[in-house]
Amino acid sequence: MELLITEEEVQRRVSSLARKISRDFAGREVLLVGILKGAFIFMADLARKMTTPVKVDFVRLASYGRGTHSSGKVKITKDLETSLRGKDVLLVEDVVDTGFTLNYLFHRLQARRPRSLKTVSLLDKPGGRKIDFQADYIGFTIENHFVVGYGLDYNEAYRNLRGIYVVK
């Protein structure tokens, strides 16, 4: 593995995103919807650094299986427990790659009539895009590498790495 983004770089960028999101949602409570499992560390750090009131919920989707490439088929394996109607919702994703997962979930949640629905992704890989989907807030734009660390995994391993690494 090769280090791509250091722990310090990640923390600086998460702090910057939290400031911008807090300004954009000033005076409102935000429901953070984390996409499990990859976004859990990013979401925890983001929530702690935000200055607006937050609530949290999680959804779990599957699209990778056990490989390093998206299957292109998305399925919900754990749905939300919170109603979205009338709420300001921020979808929290680890990486936008093909765009299938975030596009699918965004449209599913939009149908639940939130007051607003925005997306934040720690990583964006435009080189892997199959569907035109752009997150509202992006931490880092990276090349089309398979990456692990800071919640991202390869066959459930490496989530605990503090930086982000390219799997060779």
- Read off the pLDDT of residues 28-38 as tens digits, 9 standing for 90 and up: 999 999 999 99
In order of start, what are the domains of the chain with their CATH numbers?
2-166 (3.40.50.2020)
- Read off the pLDDT of residues 109-118 as tens digits, 9 standing for 90 and up: 999 999 999 9
Does residue 90 register a pLDDT over 80?
yes
Q: What is the DSSP letter of 113?
A: -
**How many other C-beta atoms can be found within 10 angstroms of the C-beta atom of residue 107?**
11
Does residue 67 register a pLDDT over 60?
no
Find out whether 152 and 159 touch, Cβ atoms under 8 Å: yes
Tell me the mean pLDDT in the region 122-147: 96
Q: What percent of the chain has pLDDT over 70?
A: 94
Which residue, 107, 101, 99, 98, is CA-closest to 37? 101
Rounded CA separation 58/40 (Å): 9
* Token pair 């560390």 in the structure block, residue: 41
Rounded CA separation 18/48 (Å): 9
- Residue 96 corresponds to which amino acid? V
Does residue 65 register a pLDDT over 80?
no
Instruction: Report the alpha-carbon angle 150-43-62, nearest 5.
Output: 75
pTM to 2 decimal places: 0.92
- Read off the pLDDT of residues 1-48 as tens digits, 9 standing for 90 and up: 999 999 999 999 999 999 999 999 999 999 999 999 999 999 999 999
Q: What is the DSSP letter of 39?
A: T
Q: Which long-range contacts (CB under 8 A, 24 or more apart) does 153-159 make?
A: 153/37, 153/38, 154/68, 155/66, 158/1, 159/37, 159/38, 159/41
DSSP for 64-75 reads -TTSSS--S--E
Of the candidates 88, 97, 124, 153, the residue annotated as catalytic is: 97
Told to judge if 97 belongs to the known catalytic residues of this protein, a careful annotator would answer yes
Find out whether 135 and 96 touch, Cβ atoms under 8 Å: yes
**Stated length of the chain:** 168
Find out whether 114 and 89 touch, Cβ atoms under 8 Å: yes
Does residue 71 register a pLDDT over 90?
no
Does residue 70 register a pLDDT over 70?
no
